[in-house]
């Protein structure tokens, strides 16, 4: 399948047989994660729904079961803004083979905030949190026959740059600049994970990135909370009018997680104009996302910051 090939109108009903496989989905209680968990469970997969608020996760699970019928959905607490929470979550899964980890959760363009470990919130959650989680779950992934890791990126990676001199945002902060940086970091991580796995002789492993295009989800609703009133309501109505649904937005990551023909180190996004909406296909990231020297440097920095070393 070439980088420009199109899988016309692939939907969740086209997923191959995944009954009994174990998927871990971060941020699985809402938005794209909710749809992803629901559709995997509908097809008979065992899904670990990881989220910060267990009560919200259980409520989401009950809604899914009411729609799809009996399902194997295990809700567990995970705060990607806390290295301790990531360690605890991974330890609770230490004996379970993991067929696929879907690094879905994220934060987008908040005011300057920090994780519990002092990292700038977006870089710390979107990239470092998932880097650490993947490392802690590596042994579980290696117990599966054909393990796969899917990391969610964004069209917003395109203007992104990795500012190694200001990863902590102490020299200035741009909410959207930091978001773009974190999404470029997600791609660099996904592709470097593939390279390192191959270098270490890991067989039957697939690392893939995906992005949802422009989807109307609660993530975008959380942007710029300081903007309120009529302006915010109008912006939200405009988004809902032009954006695709979460059901459509989740298709690229479902395709990346399950389709048998997806090659490792691929990038999956919508097939419409500008990759803003549509059905999943293989797409092309900016050249910096494939920069091996940049990816290797980011990997080393990520090890140093998180204390997680694997591959």
**Could you list the active site residues?**
179
Looking only at the bridges linking them, the beta strands covering 72-77 and 100-103 are unpaired
Helix (H, G, I), strand (E, B) or coil at 197: helix
State the CB neighbour count (10 A cutoff) for residue 52: 17
- Give whole-number Cα distances, 301 to 113, 240, 309, in Å: 20, 38, 11
Report residue 143: phi and psi, to 5°.
Answer: -85, -15
β-strands 206-210, 267-270 pairing: parallel
- Residue 21 three-state SS: coil
- What does the radius of gyration of the chain's CA atoms come to, in whole angstroms? 18
Contact 227, 111 (CB under 8 A): no
CA angle 286, 128, 251 (to 5 degrees): 55
Tokens 């939907």, residue? Answer: 11
Q: How many angstroms separate the CA atoms of 270 and 301, rounded?
A: 31
DSSP three-state, residue 151? strand
Between CA 229 and CA 189 the distance in angstroms is: 38
- Nearest of 190, 120, 125, 187 to residue 156 by alpha carbon: 187
């Amino acid at each position: 399948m070439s980088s420009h090939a199109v899988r016309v109108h692939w939907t969740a009903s086209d997923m191959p047989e995944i009954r009994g496989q174990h998927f871990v989905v971060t941020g699985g209680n809402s938005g794209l994660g909710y749809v992803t968990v629901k559709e995997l469970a509908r097809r008979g997969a065992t899904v670990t729904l990881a989220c910060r608020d267990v009560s919200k996760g259980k409520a989401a699970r009950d809604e899914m079961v009411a729609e799809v019928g009996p399902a194997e959905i295990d809700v567990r607490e995970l705060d990607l803004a806390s290295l301790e929470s990531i360690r605890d979550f991974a330890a609770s899964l230490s004996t379970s083979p993991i067929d696929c980890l879907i690094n879905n959760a994220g934060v987008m363009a908040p005011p300057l905030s920090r994780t519990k470990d002092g990292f700038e919130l977006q870089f710390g959650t979107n990239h470092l949190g998932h880097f650490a989680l993947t490392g802690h779950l590596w042994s579980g992934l290696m117990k599966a026959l054909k393990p796969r890791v899917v990391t969610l990126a964004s069209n917003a990676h395109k203007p992104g740059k990795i500012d190694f001199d200001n990863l902590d945002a102490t020299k200035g902060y741009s909410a959207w600049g930091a978001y773009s940086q974190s999404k470029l970091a997600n791609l660099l991580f996904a592709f470097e994970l593939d390279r390192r796995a191959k270098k270490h002789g890991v067989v039957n492993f697939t690392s893939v990135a995906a992005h949802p295009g422009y989807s109307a989800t609660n993530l975008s609703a959380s942007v710029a909370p300081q903007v309120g009133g009529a302006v915010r309501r109008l912006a939200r109505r405009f988004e809902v009018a032009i954006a695709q649904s979460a059901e459509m937005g989740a298709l690229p990551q479902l395709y990346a997680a399950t389709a048998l023909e997806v090659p490792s180190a691929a990038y999956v996004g919508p097939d419409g104009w500008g990759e803003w909406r549509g059905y999943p296909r293989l797409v092309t990231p900016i050249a910096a996302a494939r920069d091996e020297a940049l990816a290797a440097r980011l990997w080393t920095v990520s090890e140093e910051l998180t204390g997680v070393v694997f591959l």
